[in-house]
Amino acid sequence: MSATNLRLHNYFRSSASFRVRIALALKGIAYEYVPVHLVKNGGEQLAAAHHTKNPMEQVPALELVLDGKPRVIAQSVAIIELLEELYPEPPLYPKDSYLRTRTRELVEIINSGIQPHQNLAPMKRMDQLAQGAGRLHAKHYNEVGLAAYEERVKETAGRFSIGDQVTAADLFLVPQLVAARRFEVDLSKVPTIVAIDERCRALPAFQAAAPDRQPDFEP
């Protein structure tokens, strides 16, 4: 399988986009950055043109020519797994079956256990039911999910979530902590996570992928 003409439809503040940007940076893959503003113009993710790229009306979506055919893939887990197949070095999933499964478990704690609760649409819906509820809901699931991640990661942590090599789990953790800080989650309860996050953020690929380094960044 081979790929050319990669275009990432994404948003600087989106944690799911940030995950994919880290994978692209770690693997040294060139791509075109296509901004999709989630707030301006009524939310560009809701436009018909974007809907065809991601029917969930979310970012990220990766457009590429795959084995000569134009394709668009959504969902950060699927995109990162495709990048892993196309560009195996450096690997983001351990060779050992148990550690690979643990990596996926940590990925899912964030991908399905935390992040969906802090999305714009559910937060807006919660706020319609009770003013301010959206933020409290998002904060709660950040606390629950990060506590679970902390408990699990203690078993495998080295410099990073799984030993001393960066894995997909770290690509999910670092963007999640940006959100957790925004929701003022007390991170003193998750010291292993905080130490891993610091080590990841010292790496050039994580820095290059950070929200404030993107062309559509707004303070």
Give the strands of the sheet with 61-66, arranged side by side.
Answer: 32-35, 3-10, 61-66, 69-74
> Could you say which of 38, 106, 146, 173 contacts ligand GSH (CB under 6 A)?
38
Strand partners of residue 66 = 3, 69
Q: Minimum distance between the CB of residue 192 and ligand GSH, rounded to whole angstroms?
A: 24
14 part of the interface to ligand GSH, by CB under 6 A: yes
Task: Map residues 77-116 to x or -, x wherever contact with ligand GSH holds by CB under 6 A.
Answer: x---------------------------------x-----
Specify burial of residue 192 (Cβ count, 10 A radius: 0-12, 13-18, 19+).
middle
- Report 112-131 residues binding ligand GSH (CB under 6 A): 119-121
16 part of the interface to ligand GSH, by CB under 6 A: yes
47 part of the interface to ligand GSH, by CB under 6 A: no
Nearer to ligand GSH, 58 or 161 (CB): 58
Q: Minimum distance between the CB of residue 173 and ligand GSH, rounded to whole angstroms?
A: 14
6 part of the interface to ligand GSH, by CB under 6 A: no
Characterize the bridge pairing of strands 32-35 and 3-10: parallel
58 part of the interface to ligand GSH, by CB under 6 A: yes
Counting residues that bind ligand GSH (by CB under 6 A) gives 16
- Cβ contact 149:173 at 8 Å: yes
45 part of the interface to ligand GSH, by CB under 6 A: yes
Q: Minimum distance between the CB of residue 26 and ligand GSH, rounded to whole angstroms?
A: 17
Q: Minimum distance between the CB of residue 20 and ligand GSH, rounded to whole angstroms?
A: 8
Closest-CA residue to 23 (of 84, 98, 86) = 84
Residues that bind ligand GSH (CB under 6 A): 14-16, 38, 43, 45, 58-60, 75-77, 111, 119-121
